[in-house]
Amino acid sequence: MCLSREEWGRVYRRRPTLPHIIRTPGARAKYSSDRYYCPFRDIQELVVAPTSTQAGPAARLEGILPDVEIAILEPLIEEIEQLKGERNAVILAHNYMTPDIYHGVADIKGDSLALARLASDTPADVIVMAGVHFMAETAKIVNPQKTVLIPDLEAGCSLAESITPQDIRLLRERYPGVPVVTYVNTSAEVKAESDICCTSGNAVQVVESLGVDRVMFLPDQYLGRWVATQTEVEIIVWEGSCMVHERFTGAELRVYRDTHPGIQIIAHPECPPDVLEEADFVGSTAGMIRWLKTERPRAVVMVTECSMSDNVAAELPETEFTQPCNLCPHMKRITMAGIRDALRDMRFEVLVDPEVAVRARLAVERMLEVKI
Ligand code: 13P
Ligand code: SF4
C-alpha cells in the first residue's frame, strides 16, 4: 500500500515516531503501486523488524501489508472506526479498492451487484461508498432516506461517461419496442431511461429474464458481445468501453501461457473478445473470487484491475498471482484519508433528483428481483 504524496504528508505528521525499521538487503515492501508515491521506495531495501503483532483494528492488515505501513496507518484506521461508530456509518468497498481499504476498514465488500444488494439491506444511517460515483448513486437510489457519501466526487467511470439519457431516447426511436438493458456503470439519469439494469454478475440472466428475442445492451460493447456468446437473445450494443479492461490483449495472455505452462487465466467480461477467448474463466469481480476459492489454482493471471489481485492474494497464499497491472484511475481516487475526511466532514453527499431516482429505482429493483 502506498499513499499519494498529499496523504503521506498527512499521515506521517500524525505519528509521533516512526516504527522500528531495519535495512536488510533483498527485502522489499510487499505492495506498492506504480501510480502512487511510495515513501518506502525511497528507502532502499527496507524491511520491518518482526515485532509483536498489532493491536486493535489495524491487526486486520497483519500479513497483508508490511508492518511499517500498518503502523503508519494505525491512527487513521482507528479514527475511521471511531467516526463510523459516531455516524452510525458503514463503508461499502468495491473489490478494486487498495488492500488498506479493502482489508483495513471496509464493512461490506463485493462486486457491483453485491454492493447494490447490500446497500439496500444495511441498517446504518450513513453509507460511505469506497468505489466510483455510479456505485454511490446506486446506493442512494435504493436508499433514498440514507445519507450516501463518496470520498471523491471525481471518481467516475469511462463507461458511465459514454452514454446519455438522450442517446437512449434516440435508440428507442430507432429500435421501437426493443427493451433497454443498462449496465449499472451508468448515471442515475441513464438508468431512469432503462427497462432494467444489470451487472457483469447477472447480465446473461437479466437479458434472458425479459423473454424477448432482441435487446439493446448499453453501454459496454464488450460485455454486450460476451453476453451475446452466452445466449440466443440478439444483442444490440453501444460503443462504450472500460478504459482499464480494453487495454488487455489476447497476445499478451498467450505469452503468459507459453511461458508458464499450466497457468490459469481468468478475465472480467469488460475485456475485448480476443482476451476472453484466451480465458479459462470469465466472470464479474465476485465471480472471479468465487472461482479462485473453489478451484484453488496453483498459478493464475487475473485480467482485471490489479488491486483486486492484491486483495485476493492476501486470502489465497498458496496461489501464485500474475497481474498484468492496469489500474483504474477513478477507483484509485478513493483513499484512506479521503474516507476519513468523508466521515469527519460528512462529505461529499451523493444526491439524486427524486423524480429520476423513482424511475431509476424501478430499473435497479427489477434487476435485483432476477434470480441468478
Ligand atoms: P463488477 O461488477 O464485476 O465488480 O465490475 C465493476 C467494474 O467497474 C468493473 O470494472
Ligand atoms: Fe469504470 Fe472500468 Fe474503472 Fe470499472 S474499471 S470503474 S468499468 S473505468
The ligand whose atoms approach the alpha carbon of 269 most closely is: 1
Residues having CB closer than 6 A to ligand 2 are 132, 157-159, 185, 242-244, 270, 305, 328, 330-331
| Percent of residues, the chain, with pLDDT higher than 90 | 81
For the entire predicted model, the pTM comes to 0.85
pLDDT value of position 24: 23
Give residue 82's identity as a one-letter amino acid code. Q
Encode pLDDT of 157-170 as tens digits: 999 999 999 999 99
pLDDT value of position 46: 28
Encode pLDDT of 338-350 as tens digits: 999 999 999 999 9
3-state secondary structure of 304: coil
The C-alpha cell at 78 is 482507528
Q: Look at 35 and 79; give whichever has higher pLDDT.
A: 79
Residue 307: closest CA among 16, 1, 98, 124: 98
**CB of 80 within 8 A of CB of 105?**
yes
The C-alpha cell at 294 is 473453489
The ligand whose atoms approach the alpha carbon of 158 most closely is: 2
pLDDT value of position 121: 85
Dmax (CA) for the chain in angstroms is 69
Beta bridge partners of 208: none
Q: Report the interhelical angle of 306-315 vs 285-295 (nearest 10°).
A: 30
Q: Look at 55 and 255; give whichever has higher pLDDT.
A: 255
pLDDT of 6 strictly over 70: no
Encode pLDDT of 297-328 as tens digits: 999 999 999 999 999 999 999 999 987 889 99
Encode pLDDT of 114-165 as tens digits: 999 898 889 999 999 999 999 999 999 999 999 999 999 999 999 999 999 9
Please give the distance, rounded to the nearest whole angstrom, from the Cα atom of residue 306 to the centre of ligand 2: 12
- Smallest CA separation from ligand 2 atom 1, residue: 157
CATH superfamily of 47-157+331-353: NadA-like (3.40.50.10800)
pLDDT value of position 323: 79
pLDDT of 4 strictly over 90: no
CA dist list (Å): 346 to 109, 121, 122, 147, 303: 21, 21, 18, 9, 35
Q: How many CB atoms lie within 10 A of CB 349?
A: 14
Q: What is the mean pLDDT of the chain?
A: 86
CATH architecture of the domain 5-30+161-242 equals 3-Layer(aba) Sandwich (3.40)
Q: Which long-range contacts (CB under 8 A, 24 or more apart) does 19-23 make?
A: 19/48, 19/51, 19/67, 19/68, 19/71, 19/72, 20/48, 20/49, 20/51, 21/46, 21/47, 21/48, 21/49, 21/68, 22/47, 22/48, 22/49, 23/47
pLDDT value of position 157: 98
Residue 55's pLDDT band (cuts 50, 70, 90): low
Q: 138 CB under 6 A from ligand 1?
A: no
Q: 242 CB under 6 A from ligand 1?
A: yes
CATH architecture of the domain 245-322 equals 3-Layer(aba) Sandwich (3.40)
Q: Report the interhelical angle of 112-119 vs 133-142 (nearest 10°).
A: 30
Spatial distance between the Cα atoms of 165 and 186, rounded to a whole number of angstroms: 10
Of 190, 305, 325, 333, which is best to mutate to test ligand 2, by the most ligand atoms within 8 angstroms of its C-beta? Answer: 305
- Smallest CA separation from ligand 2 atom 8, residue: 157
Encode pLDDT of 80-108 as tens digits: 999 999 999 999 999 999 999 999 999 99
The ligand whose atoms approach the alpha carbon of 203 most closely is: 1
Segment 259-283 mean pLDDT? 97
Contacts of 353 (CB under 8 A, 6+ apart): 188
Segment 357-362 mean pLDDT? 98
pLDDT value of position 349: 98
Residue-range domain boundaries for the chain: 5-30+161-242, 47-157+331-353, 245-322
Residue 45's pLDDT band (cuts 50, 70, 90): very low
pLDDT value of position 28: 26
Spatial distance between the Cα atoms of 157 and 167, rounded to a whole number of angstroms: 17
The ligand whose atoms approach the alpha carbon of 283 most closely is: 1
Q: 221 CB under 6 A from ligand 1?
A: no
DSSP single-letter state for residue 57: G
User: 348 preceded by cis ω (within 30°)?
Assistant: yes
Please give the distance, rounded to the nearest whole angstrom, from the Cα atom of residue 216 to the centre of ligand 1: 20
pLDDT value of position 9: 26
pLDDT value of position 38: 31
pLDDT value of position 54: 54
Ligand 1 closest atom vs CA 283: 3
To the nearest 10°, the Cα dihedral for 217, 236, 179, 277? -40
Ligand 1 closest atom vs CA 245: 10
